[in-house]
Structure 1
Amino acid sequence: MSLDKTKDFLLEIGTEELPPFQIGDLVSSLALNLEHELKKLALAHGPIKSYSSPRRLAVLISNLSHKQLDQPIEIRGPRIEIAFDSSGQPTAAAIKFAGLCGVAISQLDKIEDKKGALLFHKTIKPGQTAFHLLPEIIINSIKKLPIKRPMRWGKNMGPFVRPIHWLVAMFGQEVVPLEIFEIKASNYTFGHRFHHPDAIKISEPKQYENLLTEKGYVIADYNKRQQKIRDQILAATNFGSAVIPEGLLAEVTNLVEWP
């Protein structure tokens, strides 16, 4: 796959504060669901990386193909004795099959199987563009999330785990035309609720993590955020020893965006 025929894809769902013990399962499922939908539609891609924080679930997919591969389609038609009469003229069955295939009868092929000869047509179904397919892929992936206690808000919006406040969906530099719960997708994310509540423009998906860190005061990578908390604990002990319960550390990691 040549890189000039691929683009990076970014999906971010911005929400109110998420239940800390559900964030890991939600973002993992979101990534797996997207991967499954892409495979189902024969859209090749590169590495998948997920991001999460108390107010966001995000997935970055590198090198997503710009379109499906063209698909060869083989259509079997009526048997020769049914397709043509005794004088060799096409019957209604042959005419109907040719119409179904969108070709003249003379353009149909004949093949043999164990039972004899039949009409046959081979064609190519052009692949659809990823940009055209992504709205359906995203919606299906979100619908399948394992939400334990879905809620509604506003004018009966939802159901979802928490109210959605913004949505980022980008394929390369283009915004995917998508709307979920009356929230339209854009290329604007938001930083920390207090340190940087303003919108942050994303020019291309691969900027996502660095933009949030450098401008938004958000460490979107769960492992990096957890390591920073661990380092702060050890520093507070003057680099002595500290008992760090892993369950509590995981909970705290999912409670803060900028430790």
Structure 2
Amino acid sequence: MIKRAGDELLVEIGTEELPPKALRTLMLAFADGVAAALTADRLAIGKVTPYASPRRLAVKIAGVAAQQEDREVEQKGPPVRIAFDKDGNPTKAAKAFAEKCGVPVASLEREQTSKGEWLVNRAEEPGRSLAELLPGCVQRALDGLPIPRRMRWGANSAEFVRPVHWVVMLHGKNLIEGTVLGIAADRRSEGHRFMSSGPVTLKSTADYPGLLESQGHVIADFFDRRQRIVAAVNAAAAAAGGAAVADDALFDEVTALCEWPVAITGHFDKAFLELPKEVIVATLTSHQRYFPLADSSGALLPAFITLANIDSREPDTVRDGNERVIRPRLADAAFFWDADRKLSLADRQAALDDVVYQRGLGSLGDKSRRVALLSATVAAQIEADPLQAERAALLAKCDLVTGMVGEFPELQGTMGRYYALNDRET
């Protein structure tokens, strides 16, 4: 039986900056892992709320029992026919079983089953406390996180995806003492790396995450922080006369990079708008995690929005810095665009023979020729132009050896279209 619900539980693991693309997954897995471990240890739990920022994984669980219910445990012993001799005296088997159970033979009970009568010992096992069980539950949850590579730090033998610097474990107003990953649990969390004036001491779980935000300048709720970022980006985009070009993955990644997000609008030279739209978007999003802006027709504007992880007293300096960073990035993209168009896709076919992904399986050029042969055959069967199908297949992979696709692999195929149009392919 599981003991009735109790106070709210808070567990926070404070780390160095966690991998941004994995943060959401780690957050959900950690919350699920702690909840599952508590349930497996027969502790009642209620609603589970996950939290995460670049420097922490946390979970709050409502109604966590302070102790397991006592339970009756049953130990099965030897058959009665073996436990007692013909005169009813206990044999060595009965005495050994009683000694193992820590009770006299006379306290043992008999149980009739389909296989005969057996000795059993029934005893009440006292429930263990949350304080005793929680460190192990948290450790099991951390061990079960989907982390492909773990690291060690300092003289500690513990391993995790990033070094751990603090641990908070509170049950209502009570501190749960214990050690996780070599760190003793405390009431103190840490605020923003630059904006916080010092540790944030939590008197109870009710202080979290509100006190962390008001004193530590950290929005610990991942989903709340994401909503604020979406609202800030949309507001800044509207003020700049456009709309943000972004997908959920970019919002998730930026959310995982900021504890105190502040939207700032920057600009770049209009001359770069001569580049294909996809190239500008890839340059802004892949390299810098900026949000490109587009007008109502979908055409890009010479502007972007970045999220600073600090409320700077000199936002213009932050803006200028980001504009200086993006200028050479776009210049590099323009260089690739100009250089790649000097050589046609058809002239790049020979370079595919040097692209080998797995020794013994041929080159990319071999694959292109096989696909070309198949394409021509299929085209003939459906009354399409075999020569056109064959040429399209031969050119399909040629953009893989261009400078632009080398820099932005996600643009393969897209750049092939632009280069084919430039070569007047029909």
Q: TM-score, normalised by structure 1?
A: 0.91
Counterparts of 1:176-187 in structure 2, within 5 Å, are: 176-187=176-187
Distance of 2:255 and 2:113 partners within structure 1: 63
User: What's 1:203 paired with?
Assistant: 203
Distance of 2:98 and 2:183 partners within structure 1: 46
Equivalent pairs, count = 258
Cα displacement string for residues 65-87 of structure 1 (whole angstroms, at most 9, x for unaligned residues): 11112222122222222122122
User: What's 1:244 paired with?
Assistant: 246
- Deviation, 1:240, is 6.2
Structure 2 CA distance for partners of 1:115 and 1:148, relative to 1, 3 Å: closer
Counterparts of 1:35-46 in structure 2, within 5 Å, are: 35-46=35-46
Distance of 1:143 and 1:28 partners within structure 2: 14
Q: Is the 8 A contact 2:77 2:118 kept in 1?
A: yes
Cα displacement string for residues 191-241 of structure 1 (whole angstroms, at most 9, x for unaligned residues): 111111410110111211111122111111111111111111221214964
Q: Is the 8 A contact 2:27 2:50 kept in 1?
A: yes
User: What's 2:111 paired with?
Assistant: 111
- Deviation, 1:21, is 0.3
Q: Letter of the aligned partner of 2:212 in structure 1?
A: L
User: What's 1:136 paired with?
Assistant: 136
Counterparts of 1:34-183 in structure 2, within 5 Å, are: 34-155=34-155, 158-183=158-183
Distance of 1:211 and 1:8 partners within structure 2: 16
**Secondary structure, aligned partner of 2:231:** helix
Q: Is the 8 A contact 1:49 1:59 kept in 2?
A: yes
**Secondary structure, aligned partner of 2:229:** helix
RMSD: 2.1
Q: Is the 8 A contact 2:158 2:182 kept in 1?
A: no
User: What's 1:12 paired with?
Assistant: 12
Higher strand share: 1
Q: Letter of the aligned partner of 1:139 in structure 2?
A: Q
**Secondary structure, aligned partner of 1:215:** helix
Q: Letter of the aligned partner of 2:255 in structure 1?
A: T
Q: Is the 8 A contact 1:190 1:197 kept in 2?
A: no
Q: Letter of the aligned partner of 1:246 in structure 2?
A: D
Moved more, 86-95 or 130-139: 86-95
- Deviation, 1:150, is 2.1
Runs of 4+ with deviation above 4 angstroms: none
Distance of 1:164 and 1:79 partners within structure 2: 54
Structure 2 CA distance for partners of 1:180 and 1:121, relative to 1, 3 Å: closer
> Is 2:192 the partner of 1:212?
no
Higher helix share: 2
Q: Letter of the aligned partner of 1:210 in structure 2?
A: G
Q: TM-score, normalised by structure 2?
A: 0.57
Q: Letter of the aligned partner of 1:211 in structure 2?
A: L
Q: Which has the larger radius of gyration?
A: 2
Distance of 1:106 and 1:183 partners within structure 2: 49
**Secondary structure, aligned partner of 2:208:** helix
Q: Is the 8 A contact 2:101 2:121 kept in 1?
A: yes
| Unmatched runs of 5 consecutive residues or more in structure 1 | none
- Deviation, 1:157, is 5.4
**Secondary structure, aligned partner of 1:219:** coil
Distance of 1:28 and 1:229 partners within structure 2: 20
Distance of 2:86 and 2:157 partners within structure 1: 66
| Unmatched runs of 5 consecutive residues or more in structure 2 | 262-426
Distance of 2:155 and 2:116 partners within structure 1: 63
Q: Is the 8 A contact 2:3 2:69 kept in 1?
A: no
Cα displacement string for residues 22-59 of structure 1 (whole angstroms, at most 9, x for unaligned residues): 11111111112112211221111111111011111111
Distance of 1:157 and 1:78 partners within structure 2: 45
Q: Letter of the aligned partner of 1:250 in structure 2?
A: D
Identity of aligned residues (%): 39
Q: Is the 8 A contact 1:43 1:67 kept in 2?
A: yes
Moved more, 160-169 or 20-29: 160-169
Moved more, 86-95 or 247-256: 86-95
**Secondary structure, aligned partner of 2:21:** coil
Distance of 1:128 and 1:156 partners within structure 2: 29
- Deviation, 1:244, is 2.9
